[in-house]
Amino acid sequence: MKSVTFKNKTWEVAANLHLPGGFDETKKYSAIVVAHPISSCKEQTAAIYAAKLAELGYVCLAFDASTQGASGGPGRYLEDPATRVEDFHCAADYLVTLPYIDEDRIGVLGICGGGGYAVNAAMTERRFKAVGTIVGANYGRLCREGDLTPDAAIKALEAISAQRTAEARGAETAIATYIPQSGAQLESYGIEDVDVVEAVDYYTTPRGQRPGSPNKLNVVSTGAAFAWDAYHLADKLLTQPLQIIVGGGRTGAFGSYRDGFELFNKARSEKKSILVVPGATHYDLYDKPDCVDQAVAKLEAFYGETL
């Protein structure tokens, strides 16, 4: 593995290039862009999948989203769909400059929110010849339906607009957290949803905690996501082979099981498949060895046939 950067507009996007064993720059390799979940970074679950796919012979590029992790950008901790999707186009731009990459054999893999962004990018990024998602989630849908109460999205947007006004007048940038910051805080809130409980276990303990993933979110930046749908026009523009992987265990608030089947039914792709990993929760597919191994075995067959 080596650390690299590539440009998105005027800033540098930080990435790790995972190389196959016995890598030879004089040969041509298939490549896979690997995108991390929302609030994550390239050293977490994205690194696990990138490393395992590299073992199978692929050059894998795992990157930090713009304004997150070690990447630059206009501000910090933004979750802006347009910028997130553009990162994928820029990742493809970078890969096609490498002499050892076969530009006709580039795929993409996204995990959780990174899966939704990967799908959205692939609709217009025709250099991606195959699309994979692991517990892919539609961030726009999650923003709109987050607390399941009538008009909640409108109230949230009104609050975001008010905060934007305050910041335009000189107030400090509002930075929030995605999840409770410890198991004790989670318990004090009385939250029992499996996705949130396991998110706290993953992100706030040695299991998955990394410096590039500080559980911070620029509040105003989320406004654009409410009117954005990761799968909009998938029935018209998503034609690449598609492999969706979801967990078949308890489902939670993040909705990746539901989003996986919605995408499967909507995608125009002639070659498409969905794997339900028995008993697996959303976060089991981040790093639980037996679940990850099942997902990788499916991806090995999928990318082997399509790249």
Residue with tokens 């002499």: 99
Q: What is the pLDDT of residues 20-46, one digit of tens each?
A: 999 999 999 999 999 999 999 999 999
DSSP calls for 146-175:
TT--TTHHHHHHHHHHHHHHHHHTTPPPPE
Contact 261, 228 (CB under 8 A): no
Residue 147: its pLDDT value, please?
Answer: 64
pTM, 2 dp: 0.97
Average pLDDT over residues 186-197: 93
Helix (H, G, I), strand (E, B) or coil at 46: helix
pLDDT digits (tens, 9 = 90+) for 69-79: 999 999 999 99
Tens-place pLDDT, residues 234-262: 999 999 999 999 999 999 999 999 999 99
What confidence tier does 145 reach under pLDDT thresholds 50, 70, 90? Answer: confident
Res. 289 pLDDT band, cuts 50 70 90: very high
Q: Integer distance in angstroms from the first to the last C-alpha of the chain?
A: 21
Task: Report whether 42 contacts 63 (CB < 8 A).
Answer: yes
Burial 173-194 (b: 16+ CB within 10 A, else e): ebeeebbbeeeeebeeeeeeeb
The helix or strand, by DSSP H or E, that contains position 136, with its residue range, turns out to be: none
Cβ-proximal residues to 92 (8 Å cutoff; 6+ apart), any chain = 33, 106, 125, 127, 128
Is beta strand 2-8 parallel, antiparallel or unpaired with respect to 11-18? antiparallel
pLDDT digits (tens, 9 = 90+) for 201-233: 999 999 999 999 999 999 999 999 999 999 999
User: What was the pLDDT predicted at 236?
Assistant: 98
Across the range 189-194, mean pLDDT stands at 93
Give the mean pLDDT of the chain. 96
The pair of structure tokens assigned to 185 is 């805080």
Q: What domains does the chain contain, in order, with CATH numbers?
A: 2-145+225-305 (3.40.50.1820)
Q: Could you give the CA distance from residue 71 to residue 91 in angstroms, rounded to a whole number?
A: 13
Query: Which DSSP string corresponds to 28-45?
Result: -EEEEEEEPPTT--TTTH
- What are the CA-CA distances from residue 190 to residues 21, 47, 194 (Å)? 47, 32, 12
pLDDT of residue 148: 60
Q: Is the pLDDT of residue 266 over 90?
A: yes
Q: Is the pLDDT of residue 151 over 90?
A: no
Reference 228, options 168, 157, 127; nearest CA is 157
Q: What is the mean pLDDT of residues 156-180?
A: 96
